[in-house]
Amino acid sequence: MSNFSVNNPSTGQTEDTFTRIEDSERDDILDRSTAAYRSWRTTTIDERAAILNRAADIYEEKTDDLASYIGREMGKLDKWAKAELGIVVDIYRYYAEHAHELLADKELAAQGAQHTYVRKDPIGPLLGIMPWNFPYYQVARWAAPNLLLGNSLVLKHASICPLSSQACQDILEEAGLPKDVFQNIYASGSQMDAFVADPRIAGVSLTGSEGAGAAVAKTAGENYKKSLLELGGNDPFLIIDDDNLDAVLDQYVGIRMYNTGQACNAPKRLIVLESFYDRVVEGLEKRIGALTPGPWDDKNADVGPLSSIDARDEIVQRLADAKSNGDATVRVGGGSIDRPGAYMEPTLLTDVDPKADVGCNEVFGPVAIVYKANDVDEAVEIANNSDYGLSGSVWGTDLRTAEDAAARLEVGMSFVNEASVTAAGLPFGGVGRSGYGRELAEWGVGEFVNDHLVRVTPQ
């Protein structure tokens, strides 16, 4: 059965196919992962850090080829792919360079003993279920901290990412990681429930859809194991004054359309004050209307294709439904582009009903939505009128007011005069329908860990 394939969304052509695992292979995969864990956990911190550091070197050395893989797989523009790989390099280097600090024992007051402390121990084989939109970055932020801890990993990537997912394994093994500590498997979503339930899997991390997250969390909970979910987002982007409006709108369009709008933490709801709302709409009509779609290797393209023709068609249909139902006004774009591949017109919506589909559910594509508020308090109220809670940003020259508004956003990550920022040393994660748990920085080693209390008391 070959249901993993490279379907180039820039051309609409299938370039290669890969065979999915059989259910009967699960035992061998998990037995090998368990055996590898027992050995890997006994290696020194220095050994693990050296491998992570070498992996960073290899990602850097192979950037051009690795970027072409994800360009062909999901349509990521070459400049964006190389930027993603730069973050991956930073993540592996961060965990290598901070290894001893991150895994250091935490000394506690003796409290009646001679010595009381907490050590960080690994917990066992972990399952990672990863999405296609950032094929290397999503894996790195799960893999690097957990390999440092001493856990072994089984990766089930998106079915459209067979080249990049195998590259994640190959690079780590080239860097010196023992065989089977990291296994990339070509498996379907329907095969994951049995993996999650299996007692050899100690925990599961999923980045993906809400439906997949709910299924994973249910099975993990029923089997008494930890899960981490990073799901969708409907992030607000608040502009609270018009002192630097043109510059802020330039940044907004660049951030919203990055990765062709296919980012969970992209600013999907632009909320501006009524006093300059008309200027915002006019400015966005010009900016978004001028964007040029193109294939992944077109250096002049402003946006690429969607990840697949089906993904494109779903968004275009939702926009058509919103327009016909009176749930939104389409100011720019909204349709598919008549050319081979998964292209759609970058889109601007106004007059959106926040209770309608496009208002309350994530639109995972190049679609900007603008709301207006009477004042900052109402802007925050609109921002918080969402079941999602990944991130949000506030833009303004009065930093005290902006910071106060940002602190009131009911999200996992708030930013002032920047948005959608991710870095190896910053925690990443959300609340509500956006999931739970945190990745990266010290929090990355704090999810799938045994915080092991040790007390030493003389007889």
Paired sense of beta strands 388-389 and 431-432, if any = antiparallel
> Please, is 119 exposed, middle or buried when counting C-beta atoms within 10 Å of its C-beta (0-12, 13-18, 19+)?
middle
Q: Of 84, 230, 362, 447, which one is the catalytic site residue?
A: 230
Catalytic residue list contains 230: yes
What are the start-end ranges of the H helices in 258-308? 277-289
Ramachandran assignment for 111, one of left (phi > 0), alpha (psi -120 to 50 degrees), beta (any other): left
Residue with tokens 């010595």: 115
Question: What are the E-state strand segments in 366-410?
Answer: 367-373, 388-389, 391-395
Paired sense of beta strands 431-432 and 4-8, if any = unpaired
- C-alpha 273/C-alpha 281 separation (Å) is 12
Question: Strand, helix or coil at 316?
Answer: helix
Paired sense of beta strands 388-389 and 226-230, if any = unpaired
- Chain centroid offset of residue 157 CA: 13
Q: CA 364, 367, 373, 376 torsion: positive or negative?
A: positive
Positions marked catalytic: 230
